[in-house]
Amino acid sequence: MSAPVTPAAQPVKPSLSPEQVRDRRLAWGLFIAGFLSLLMTEKPVGFGRDESVYFHAAESHARWFQQLVSSPSEAVKDDAITRSFDFNHEHPALMKNLFGISFVVFHEKLGLLRPAGAFRLPAFLFAAWMLPLIFYLSRRLWGPFASAAAAISFFLVPRQFFHSHLSCFDVPIATMWVLTIYCFVEALEKPRWWIYTGLAFGLALAAKHNAYFIVVTLVPYILVRGWQLTRGSPEARGLFFGINGVFVLAVVLYGFMTAVVGPERMLATFTFQSPQLAIFVIACSVGGWLLWKLRTVHLDAFRTLAPLVAMAILGPLVFYAHWPYLWHHPVDRTAWYLNFHLTHNHYAWFYLGDLLRGPPFPLSYVVVKTALTVPTSIFVAMSLGFVWTCWRAVRKEMTGFEFVLVANAVMSIALISMPNVPHFGGVKHWFPSMPFLAILAAGSLERGSKGLSELLLPRLKAATQPRVLVALAVLMGTSALIATARVFEFGTSAYSELAGGLPGAASLGMQRQYWANNLSGVLPWINENARPGERIYFHENHGGQIRDLQRNGMLRSDVYAVGLEQADLVVYQYHQEFRDAEFQTWQRLGTFRPVYGLYLDETPQIVIYRRR
């Protein structure tokens, strides 16, 4: 009898521990629940000014992808690309590509969703993806229930839940930001994740321009950690200097060339066969080669530096590859795109009774606005979590991971707080800070529940820490859930308990709304009461929004959008900075008396006047 044949030794994938299995299930549960919550609440959410622009751009991108399938050689020509991608080229294409493809597949081909639902589907996926990312990052510090609470809390902020519905970029960039940090943290411990970090950073660049600041949050940590790790190894230290030196030298060379030939000539001559591209290629090649050598010398140092090098190399490559608009004119079109955001307009914005028209803006604006819009139970936990971490830093107890968390929690808030940075857009521009603040809040929840449990246990045996944690999380989340349920579709109007809700914010003189999506609240009345063929002035709504409302069956197709002078019905959006439009409506229509309106907690949002 022959001996049993044993197969050749195979690398065995380590099986997951029960705890990891539970975490994986929780993460999937969060993702699925998050996705479904968005899908099921999508219809009442109106179309913001920008969203309608992105619908249009996304459809245009989708047509190009269809052409790419049907006649690829024609599609890759510059004129075909320009035709499809020139509109709204102030934002990169990743999300618009996905919105457009989803529209073609789920609306045009399968007929499963209305046009807006199909456009928005990728946005739901990106927003839902945020929840497991928060959960897993939080799990590095806190227990599963506190981490799940942190993830859920992202959707319990009414403005965040509202924005998660939109075919826009503010939540996707926040997700890509968190993904990049997640990959980076994993990369410090595991192989291959440095590549994923570079790819994630590329996707973040492809989502929105905020992504450039991710690097700022990581570089100090990477340099300090790299310096500390290579302390005992001269060879590794040399490579550490070499890698950093190569990229620093590249930056210096670019600066020198710009100073010598001027920025315009620098850009004009940045072609395929140019010194400018050569510098990038050489820096990436030498940096990559040194990095590979470091891998054999000091694995931990390699894992620290490799994500940054991957971000430097893969980030621009993904950015270039994802956006056909750059394929034939990479430099000048990228330069235009960056310049657009560096010189962005300032829009009028109401804040504590004053109209902010331009810089310098108040330094406290972002913090105050956050305090007045994030549900107070969550905001207080975030604040306590932040203070706790700072206290640990003072006591020199802060870990590297905590440093990364705090740096990312602070980055977007600090950036927008700068007095010269445009301040419009409510809270969406510092969304990338919010997931990290949610993780800090989870720490507060965990510590607080432990403290409460210690207080209660002598009198109440059932008050074990896990039970107290769940009870406290439910208590904290319920008020936020009620607020979100009541106003999520009018998310730009939402204010917290600290503000006194919407009425309190109105008395404080805060911006009532923006983006003009609250129009959805009066559409049923208009559909019921507008006369056949009625001429309506939709104040602050552009034609694209009206087109999309009619296309999605939300507004009767027989009414016409006209200017104030021709209108018989005026739909005024209450903005303090646009009161003149309401007063002119009185003048033109000969009445001071509205016929209907959207009043949220008594605050006027949309006011409708009819010609006498």
Partner 1 sequence: MIERAARIEGVVLAAVALGALIFQLWLPSTHVAESDYQAVASVLSAEQQPGDVVLLVPWWTERARIYVPEGLPVVGYQGSDADSLERHPRIWVLSEPSLPRAGIGAFEKAFLPSRKELGSARSFGNLKLQLFENGRSKPLVLDAAELVAQANVYLEGPDGSRQDCPWNGGGHRCSNGKTVSKEWRDVHWAPWPCVKMEAPGGANRVVMEFTTPAAASSSLSAGYIWEYGSCKEGCTPSTVWFEVNGQAQSMELQTGDELMHRLEGPPLAEGSRVRIALLSQNPNARVVCFVMNAWGTR
Q: How far is CA 211 from CA 159, 181, 183, in A?
A: 21, 11, 15
445: exposed, middle or buried (C-beta count within 10 Å: 0-12, 13-18, 19+)?
buried
Point out which span in 94-102, 274-282, 496-504, 529-537 binds partner 1 (CB under 8 A): 496-504
Instruction: Give exposure, 407-441, as e/b (b: 16+ Cβ within 10 Å).
Output: bbbbbbbbbbbeeebbbebbbbbbbbbbbbbbbbb
Q: Does 449 bind partner 1 (CB under 8 A)?
A: yes
Rounded to a whole number of angstroms, the minimum distance from the CB of residue 519 to partner 1 is 18
**CA dist., res. 349 & res. 577, Å (int):** 8
**CA dist., res. 334 & res. 213, Å (int):** 17
Nearest to residue 228, comparing CAs of 305, 125, 135? 305
Point out which span in 50-58, 308-316, 404-412, 500-508 binds partner 1 (CB under 8 A): 500-508
**CA dist., res. 312 & res. 214, Å (int):** 12
Query: Residue 571: which residues within 8 A CB-CB, separation 6 or more?
Result: 519, 522, 526, 536, 537, 538, 539, 541, 606, 607, 608
- Cβ closest to partner 1, residue 98 vs residue 487: 487
Give residue for tokens 């410090």.
188
Q: Does 444 bind partner 1 (CB under 8 A)?
A: yes
Point out which span in 128-136, 208-216, 261-269, 584-592 binds partner 1 (CB under 8 A): 584-592
Q: Does 475 bind partner 1 (CB under 8 A)?
A: yes
**CA dist., res. 525 & res. 518, Å (int):** 13
Rounded to a whole number of angstroms, the minimum distance from the CB of residue 601 to partner 1 is 6
**CB distance 270 to 277 below 8 Å:** yes
Q: Does 568 bind partner 1 (CB under 8 A)?
A: no
Q: Does 442 bind partner 1 (CB under 8 A)?
A: no
Q: Does 501 bind partner 1 (CB under 8 A)?
A: yes
Rounded to a whole number of angstroms, the minimum distance from the CB of residue 604 to partner 1 is 5
Point out which span in 41-49, 174-182, 469-477, 542-550 binds partner 1 (CB under 8 A): 469-477
How far apart, in Å, do the first and last CA atoms of the chain sit? 105
Q: Does 597 bind partner 1 (CB under 8 A)?
A: yes
Q: Does 507 bind partner 1 (CB under 8 A)?
A: yes
Q: Is the peptide bond before 375 cis (omega within 30 degrees of 0)?
A: no
Q: Judging by DSSP bridges, how do beta strands 349-351 and 560-561 pair with one another? A: unpaired
Rounded to a whole number of angstroms, the minimum distance from the CB of residue 500 to partner 1 is 3
360: exposed, middle or buried (C-beta count within 10 Å: 0-12, 13-18, 19+)?
exposed
Q: Does 375 bind partner 1 (CB under 8 A)?
A: yes
Q: Does 353 bind partner 1 (CB under 8 A)?
A: yes
Q: Does 497 bind partner 1 (CB under 8 A)?
A: yes
How many residues line the site for partner 1 (CB under 8 A)?
Answer: 63
Rounded to a whole number of angstroms, the minimum distance from the CB of residue 396 to partner 1 is 16
Strand arrangement of the beta sheet that strand 535-538 belongs to? 560-561, 535-538, 569-573, 603-610, 596-600
Binding-residue pattern over the window 319 to 348 for partner 1, x denoting contact by CB under 8 A: -----------------------------x
Q: Does 492 bind partner 1 (CB under 8 A)?
A: no
CA 491 to chain centre: 15
- Cβ closest to partner 1, residue 497 vs residue 568: 497
The correct pick among 29, 275, 504, 544 for binding partner 1 (CB under 8 A) is: 504
- Cβ closest to partner 1, residue 79 vs residue 580: 580
**CB distance 180 to 201 below 8 Å:** yes
The correct pick among 211, 283, 326, 381 for binding partner 1 (CB under 8 A) is: 381
Per DSSP, 156 falls in state T
The correct pick among 331, 384, 398, 421 for binding partner 1 (CB under 8 A) is: 384
Q: Does 521 bind partner 1 (CB under 8 A)?
A: no
Rounded to a whole number of angstroms, the minimum distance from the CB of residue 611 to partner 1 is 14
Q: Does 564 bind partner 1 (CB under 8 A)?
A: no
Task: Pick left, alpha or beta for residue 607 (phi over 0 → left; psi -120 to 50 → alpha; otherwise beta).
Answer: beta
Q: How far is CA 45 from CA 30, 38, 322, 416, 518, in A?
A: 22, 10, 29, 27, 8
Two tokens, residue 99: 């919105």
Q: Does 242 bind partner 1 (CB under 8 A)?
A: no
The correct pick among 79, 189, 528, 580 for binding partner 1 (CB under 8 A) is: 580
Q: Does 603 bind partner 1 (CB under 8 A)?
A: yes
Q: Does 455 bind partner 1 (CB under 8 A)?
A: yes
Query: Residue 431: which residues within 8 A CB-CB, separation 6 or more?
Result: 160, 163, 170, 171, 173, 174, 412
Positions touching partner 1 (CB under 8 A) are 348, 353, 355, 357, 375-377, 380-381, 384, 388, 444-445, 447-455, 468, 472, 475-476, 478-480, 482-483, 486, 497, 500-501, 503-504, 506-509, 574, 576-577, 579-580, 583-584, 586-587, 591-597, 599, 601-604, 607
